[in-house]
Amino acid sequence: MAFTGKDNIQEIKARLSIVDLARRYLDLRPMGNRLVAPCPFHQETKPSFSINESEGTFYCFGCQAAGDIFDFYSRINGSDFRDTLEALAEETGVVLKQYQGKDGENTTKQVSHKSEMLKMHEIATAHFQSNLQSHAIASKYIDGRDINLDVRERYSLGFSLDAWQSLTDVFKRSGFNLDVAVECGLVMKSKDGRYFDRFRNRLMFPIRDVNGRTIAFGGRVIPELDDGESAKYLNSNGTPIYKKSQQLFGLDVARRSVTSQKNILITEGYMDVLALYQFGYMNAVAVLGTSFPDEQVKRISELAKHVELLFDGDAPGREAAFKACGKLLVRGISCHVVLFPQGEDIDSLLKEQGKEVFENLRQQSIEGLNFCIQTLKQRSPKDAVEWARAFLEQIEMPELFQPTATKLASGLGIDEAELRLGVVTQKRSNAAKNTQGGQSSPRESTSNSPRKTRDAQILTVAARYPHRLISLQEMGADLLLESPKARHFWDKLSQYSVEEILVFLTDAEKLFWVQCRSADAPPLDNEEGELLAIQHLIKSIQKKSYASSVAAALSQGSNNYETQREYMRALIEAQGRNNVQ
């Protein structure tokens, strides 16, 4: 990625340490000279994730995730590099210079376009909030639903007036481009070119990203103001700043609690999240929409180890819970299903019957796999077996395969061997792929163990002591690099400083860099020794290649007696020197 924001990257790193950032999500503990925690990027209980504070890098022994502060932020928030750079710049007060995207195209315009959209959402949030305060019926409705002031403010609840030009006028006065407001889905444009408010006469729930920035809205009709013609809910559509499948309502509020408890409550509605928060459950979020997209499952799996699905007890609620269980369980996330009695939701239950009744329901929750079995038993045996087989095939953690298969078989009352018939586990299919790959290209499989190759030996020293690159070059180290990938990595080493290089590395290069420089690699106190060793290696390679070229020349034959003698002398000399080593 070529861009001209190198200084910005260093500035951000100087202002925000990776430890301070990671602490927001992880419970870091010291171990030796490192800080460790269970990895947020794969399911585990052991602390495989470690941070090298002086390097500003992280590394996981389990899933091999590696990188710097930007990688950490991107991975944990599911944001791309550009968004990460913007967010961290904003947080640290660094003013970003113009930078260019991968193709060299100027992205400044896009950046300002997105920030304009965010600004509009921020203004709309404040506008709706002040509407709510002054609107008697809406305020009364909120009071009637027992939503206290703290909750109202924490979730920035608002109200859109029953007017065509209310928000549009605010945008106009602030000098915004109304076409961008249309793109945001906050304003609409009529055929004759007039702009008008899209959300009218609704209770407004700001949908915020994990950093608390409003990126969309959900609008709900208030029964007292219902004209009977409007849909109960009206939500923002996808925009450059909002992808529904990636967001969870309330995650900005719940994140801290979720990452510390490793437990998350998933509900179906905004009101449920608010009610739970009011009753002291800080770890609740709502899915936006009825499906449970893989991106949301992935995001949850990075934050929590256990999920409680709080769904309606009706048929659609059960079906949604069944699907969600399947998706969570294959990823190794344990889950329980809490079903609410027909016609009852979390909000009404908590407020009318109290926390104890809710806690009782939680106690009676059904473990995820048992819930799946219960659901499958109501289907035809053929469907049940088909589902179970497809489910088993998707299990990501090999150690879970056997116990899950056993439990499913006994739960469904079928023979385990029969159930497993034709099921290809992830592990086996991966192994099969590897074998095939190994047979067709043995070269590639050896290059999978980079530490053993000559390129890797040279690059290891180069990555550990980049300030000695010139000496290595003088030894001819770069000329010995065989693979184009290795040469490309060397170029980056010579081009970028230690502080900025990570931004320019591919994932594989990052991993290599961090491993070479991690606290678990030999300590960086034998620089001269390591350099001497690589010099030794370089010399011996050079001599071998010289000797082999002489030998080749000899075997090709030369009729000239003098030339032959000269070659022989050189060969003996070269071999003699090799033998000394």
Which residues of this protein are in contact with Zn ion, per CB under 5 A?
39, 41-42, 60, 62-63
Taking the complex as a whole, the smallest distance from the CB of residue 63 to Zn ion amounts, in Å, to 3
When computed from its CA atoms, the radius of gyration of the chain, rounded to whole angstroms, is 31
Q: What is the dihedral of CA 425, 427, 430, 434, to 10 degrees?
A: -130
* Residues 568 and 554: beta-carbon distance below 8 Å: yes
In the three-class reduction of DSSP (H, G, I as helix; E, B as strand; rest coil), residue 100 is classed as strand
Q: Which residue has the tokens 């990895």?
A: 39
Cα–Cα dist 268/273, whole Å = 9
Q: Which residue, 50 or 404, has its beta carbon nearer to Zn ion? A: 50
Cα–Cα dist 327/339, whole Å = 18
Q: Which residue, 301 or 460, has its beta carbon nearer to Zn ion? A: 301
Q: Which residue, 465 or 512, has its beta carbon nearer to Zn ion? A: 512
Q: Which residue, 39 or 329, has its beta carbon nearer to Zn ion? A: 39
For 411, the token pair is 């739960």
In the three-class reduction of DSSP (H, G, I as helix; E, B as strand; rest coil), residue 483 is classed as coil
Element (H, E) at 248: strand 248-249
Q: Which residue has the tokens 């923002």?
A: 236
Taking the complex as a whole, the smallest distance from the CB of residue 335 to Zn ion amounts, in Å, to 21
Taking the complex as a whole, the smallest distance from the CB of residue 183 to Zn ion amounts, in Å, to 38
Taking the complex as a whole, the smallest distance from the CB of residue 32 to Zn ion amounts, in Å, to 19
Taking the complex as a whole, the smallest distance from the CB of residue 62 to Zn ion amounts, in Å, to 4
Taking the complex as a whole, the smallest distance from the CB of residue 60 to Zn ion amounts, in Å, to 3
For 471, the token pair is 């000496």
Burial (0-12, 13-18, 19+ Cβ within 10 Å), 192: exposed
Taking the complex as a whole, the smallest distance from the CB of residue 398 to Zn ion amounts, in Å, to 16
* Residues 22 and 58: beta-carbon distance below 8 Å: yes
Burial (0-12, 13-18, 19+ Cβ within 10 Å), 25: buried
Q: Which residue has the tokens 């710097």?
A: 68
Report CA 248 to chain centroid distance, whole Å.
Answer: 14
* Residues 313 and 339: beta-carbon distance below 8 Å: yes
* Residues 466 and 493: beta-carbon distance below 8 Å: yes
Q: Which residue, 45 or 439, has its beta carbon nearer to Zn ion? A: 45
Q: Which residue, 44 or 312, has its beta carbon nearer to Zn ion? A: 44
| Cβ neighbours, 10 Å, residue 200 | 17
Q: Which residue, 28 or 324, has its beta carbon nearer to Zn ion? A: 28
Q: Which residue, 157 or 511, has its beta carbon nearer to Zn ion? A: 511
Taking the complex as a whole, the smallest distance from the CB of residue 50 to Zn ion amounts, in Å, to 10
* Residues 465 and 513: beta-carbon distance below 8 Å: no
* Residues 318 and 284: beta-carbon distance below 8 Å: no
Q: What is the DSSP letter of 42?
A: S
Burial (0-12, 13-18, 19+ Cβ within 10 Å), 376: buried
Taking the complex as a whole, the smallest distance from the CB of residue 358 to Zn ion amounts, in Å, to 34
Taking the complex as a whole, the smallest distance from the CB of residue 514 to Zn ion amounts, in Å, to 13
Q: Which residue, 50 or 168, has its beta carbon nearer to Zn ion? A: 50
Taking the complex as a whole, the smallest distance from the CB of residue 76 to Zn ion amounts, in Å, to 12
Q: Which residue, 62 or 78, has its beta carbon nearer to Zn ion? A: 62
Q: Which residue, 39 or 373, has its beta carbon nearer to Zn ion? A: 39
* Residues 82 and 101: beta-carbon distance below 8 Å: yes
Q: Which residue, 62 or 332, has its beta carbon nearer to Zn ion? A: 62
Taking the complex as a whole, the smallest distance from the CB of residue 38 to Zn ion amounts, in Å, to 8
| Cβ neighbours, 10 Å, residue 218 | 20
